[in-house]
Amino acid sequence: MKKWLLTTALAIIDIALLVLIVVSAKSTGNGSMEMPAATAEASIAEVTSPTDTKTVTSPAETTVTQTQDENTESIPEVTTFPGTSVPETSSTVPWWAVVPETSPAATEESETFRDISAYNTKELPHINDFKWVTPEILNGVCPDEAEILYFEETLGGWKCYIIENETEVERLANMELTGGTMEEMQLRFDWYYIRSGGKDGEVYEDNSPDSVFEGYVNDDGEIEAEGPGRIRVTDIYVIGDHMYAFGTISWPDGISGSLLLVRP
């Protein structure tokens, strides 16, 4: 009897242990399959790569980008003018807002020239056309009331008078001044007559071939030209309804003189 009771008790204990093991196994299995919501979100965040995270643009960043685009479109295009460049300025002033030193208005004003057709002449010269010549002019002194001419206003026909210092030989000619630029000019002399020996000297027609001098305007605004001799026209100006010019001329034999021009 005692043996039977012991056997029965052991069997009950085994059954109880088996039940306990089964219950524990089920509880452990359910825990591995389920996860709290907070823990799941944290795991997803860990899986997301840095690249994916940067592609997400916040509303604040979008607003900043739009503002920069608007500022960029509001900057006007820079207008430069030939020969000018955008000057360096202080950082407080937009570089595109600086007005160039040379403006179209200033260029147009500087290129407004006289109509030289009112002065240009092909009329033969006469000694009386040069009564305006004074000792001061022969010494290179320009009159106070003279208005200096632009290069373009000097082109065309002039009456020419040359008096040589050593020989007192006087020559009259028509002179044509041409040139597309101040770097390339031509002075052509069509000789008319010669007088030697002063006022009472002999006068005769000058049949010499035309003389051509090639020249340019130097940095001082003077015309320098070379040909059968050397010419320098130092002053070209207008007073009233006449244009005047004077300078010097020298020949290869060493003889020099004064060159005087007038028109009409």
pLDDT (0 to 100) of residue 218: 94
Tokens linked to 126: 């006469």
Tokens linked to 152: 């373009």
> How many beta carbons lie within 10 A of that of residue 182, not counting itself?
14
- Which residues lie closer than 8 Å to 258 by C-beta, 6 or more apart? 138, 162, 163, 165, 246, 247, 248, 249
What is the CATH number that goes with domain 116-263?
2.40.128.120
3-state secondary structure of 26: helix
- Which of 19-23, 65-69, 116-120, 191-195 holds the top average pLDDT? 191-195
Average pLDDT over the chain, rounded to an integer: 73
Cα separation, 26 vs 245, whole angstroms: 124
Which residue do the tokens 């020419």 mark?
160
Model confidence pLDDT, tens digit, residues 22-32: 556 555 555 44
Nearest to 101 by CA among 90, 85, 115: 85
Torsion sign, CA atoms 152, 189, 147, 139:
positive
pLDDT (0 to 100) of residue 229: 97
State the pairing for strand pair 202-205/184-196. antiparallel
Where is pLDDT greater, at 128 or 60? 128
Instruction: Please give the average per-residue pLDDT across 101-109, as a whole number.
Output: 38
3-state secondary structure of 210: coil
Asked whether the predicted pLDDT for residue 244 surpasses 80, the reply is yes
pLDDT band at 8 (very low <50, low <70, confident <90, very high): low
Where is pLDDT greater, at 17 or 50? 17
Annotated domain spans of the chain: 116-263
Asked whether the predicted pLDDT for residue 35 surpasses 50, the reply is no
Cis peptide before 264 (omega within 30 of 0): yes
Geometric angle at alpha carbon 177, from 173 and 183, rounded to 5° = 140
pLDDT (0 to 100) of residue 97: 29
Instruction: Please give the average per-residue pLDDT across 221-235, as a whole number.
Output: 97
